[in-house]
Amino acid sequence: MTMDQPCIYEIRIEDHLAARWSDWFDGLAIHTDSNGETTLSGRLTDQAALFGVLTKIHNLNLTLVSVNRSSSQSE
């Protein structure tokens, strides 16, 4: 797997984020959890897209909890 291939990511942040932010986060699915965290998940085209999402999280002053990449290429 190289940096220019699509991958499925799961990005966790503190606090709840409304589902209406999905388009702004490159179409990632947004799920709020009962523990007060939000999970953004879905396919990103490459690592540049991942860094774009992480920059948006930073610009909104959200706290990043974790980033996980799935080994699966399909969704």
Q: Which residues of the chain have pLDDT under 50?
A: 74-75
pTM of the model: 0.85
Q: Which of 55, 4, 68, 69 is nearest to 26 (CA)?
A: 55
* Rounded Cα gap, residues 14 and 6, in angstroms: 25
Share of the chain above pLDDT 70, in %: 89
In this predicted model, what pLDDT tens digit does every residue of 51-72 receive, in sequence order? 999 999 999 999 999 999 986 5
50: CB partners within 8 A, 6+ apart:
7, 9, 44, 67
Break the chain into its structural domains and give their ranges. 1-33
